[in-house]
Amino acid sequence: MDKQKIDVKNIPVEVKIHRPAADTTTKYASRDRIYIRSVKGLHQSLRRNMGFIFMSLFFLLPWIPYHGQQAILLDIGEQKFNIFALTLWPQDFTLLAWIFVIAAYALFFVTTFYGRVWCGYLCPQSVWTFTFMWFEEKIQGTRNQRMKLDQAPMSFNKFWKKALTHFCWLAFALFTSLIFVGYFTPIGPLFLNFFTLQAGFWAVVSVLFFTFCTYGNAGWMREIMCTHICPYARFQSAMFDKDTFTVTYDEARGENRGPRSRKDTDYKEKGLGDCIDCNLCVHVCPTGIDIRNGLQYECINCGACIDACDDTMTKMGYPKGLISYTTEHTLQGKPAKVFRPKLVGYFLVLILVCVAFVVNLTIRKPLELDIIRDRGALYRETPEGLIENTYTLSIINKSQQPKTLNLSVLGIEQLKWIGDTEVILAGGESRNVVISLALDPYYAKKPVLDVSFTVTDAGQPELTISQENKFFAGR
């Protein structure tokens, strides 16, 4: 067999390092501030109304009373969440998990169908940012007025406008923080104690921390949260397809762009499209992008550019829809598919997790029982010669109504119960009940006997919970 010779080449192993030029004058460009221009239209009216409803619910819910207490109180210290008639304990963590799973798949479903509309219409970051922009516009003026104000040297007019703006931001951030902390501690005493300087250390720290976060996020960071920090901006494209409705510029209709007068009716003969290059779509964008450059992950689908463009098209006498919620297939002249495998899959999974949540909520009993044995000794002998075991019955009333509970034990007829046989628990109350079981050694057939503790609701005898345990006879 002929042997083929393989040529061997020497490969240089020297690594050349290219060091940057020693230019100490070059600096990184700071982030350009985005001056948002106010715009009116269908989508902005819808966004404002939805944001107002969402914010109103956030502000009002912790003030609603229910059966003499705060309707929604997520008491971390007591390890219980009161949500109207529902009380969730650490044992009910699965219900919270189901709620998060439902929220996640609802977000996936909406994103696949209509893009990133959650970000543009209901995300707290967007709602609070637009609110801060509203303060800014009312105090400092329109977009052009704000730009001139920032470029002007410091003066009394500039100082008081800037100071009033930041005062309003801080006041609104403080109010927001107090409401937020009020979901985790009784909100009435929180407001009273905070403004009378009697609030506890952790309450004050929490309020100031969230005030700073709200002020920084909505007042200063704004679009940075959406474009660089929020993970949703990064993975949202995985849920998009060619039938997802997104804010899109119709390039075939708009190009070539260029200015012209309203009376110019032969612009198409000059090679121009419907876009007059007014840049209003850029001026109204809260993330500062140009939608005409195509779909970008920074776009939050708020529809501001749609309203600005539609207004311009109306003034020019052109058809609306140069920028609109549309699909890639629609722009290509193909029919959009609403019922497609990915969307149907998300919908089915969403229905399944909703059913699972309802089932778990339905089978959940309003009582919880946990048995803790005496850790000091398995058993002891009483002066009467009986064998005694001590237990701690940890009972939780998960409902919001008071309950009278009867305690009993099954398994050994000759057992003597020492302790309370009836317990009254208020709504949402938990209690440890210490009891003992005593048995004559004559009836102890085995060293370890099985017993079953039972808790029965006196008002609803059908509501019964039981838990198995052991009785140590010592022989």
- CATH code of 466's domain: 2.60.40.10
Inside any domain, residue 288? yes
Strand-pairing partners, residue 422, are 406
Query: Could you tell me if 327 and 374 lie in one domain?
Result: no
Query: Could you tell me if 322 and 392 lie in one domain?
Result: no
Query: Could you tell me if 246 and 326 lie in one domain?
Result: yes
Given 331, 350, 380, which residue is the final one in a domain? 331
Query: Could you tell me if 375 and 464 lie in one domain?
Result: yes
Q: Structural domain tally of the chain?
A: 2
Inside any domain, residue 352? no
Q: Which domain holds residue 448?
A: 367-472
19: pLDDT strictly greater than 60: no
Inside any domain, residue 381? yes
Top-ranked range on mean pLDDT: pick from 63-67, 332-336, 452-456: 452-456
Inside any domain, residue 379? yes
Inside any domain, residue 29? no
Query: Could you tell me if 442 and 395 lie in one domain?
Result: yes
Band (pLDDT 50/70/90 cuts) for residue 437 is very high
In a 3-state reduction of DSSP, which class is residue 30? coil
User: What spatial distance separates the first Cα and last Cα of the chain, rounded to whole Å?
Assistant: 88
115: pLDDT strictly greater than 80: yes
Query: Could you tell me if 309 and 256 lie in one domain?
Result: yes
Q: Can you tell me the distance from the alpha carbon of 369 to that of 358, in angstroms, rounded to the nearest whole number?
A: 22
Tell me what the mean pLDDT of segment 182-202 comes to: 94
CB 364 within 8 A of CB 92: yes
pTM to 2 decimal places? 0.81
Inside any domain, residue 255? yes
pLDDT of the residue at 362? 87
Inside any domain, residue 157? no
Query: Could you tell me if 321 and 372 lie in one domain?
Result: no
Band (pLDDT 50/70/90 cuts) for residue 475 is low
At 433, list the tokens: 């009940």
Given 331, 353, 384, which residue is the final one in a domain? 331
CB 407 within 8 A of CB 435: yes
- Decide the pairing of beta strands 422-425 and 403-410: antiparallel
Query: Could you tell me if 382 and 462 lie in one domain?
Result: yes
For 400-421, the pLDDT digits (tens) are: 888 999 999 998 888 999 999 9
Band (pLDDT 50/70/90 cuts) for residue 153 is very high
Given 303, 331, 359, which residue is the final one in a domain? 331
CB 58 within 8 A of CB 179: yes
Query: Could you tell me if 378 and 442 lie in one domain?
Result: yes
Contacts (Cβ under 8 Å, ≥6 apart) of 166: 219
Inside any domain, residue 212? no
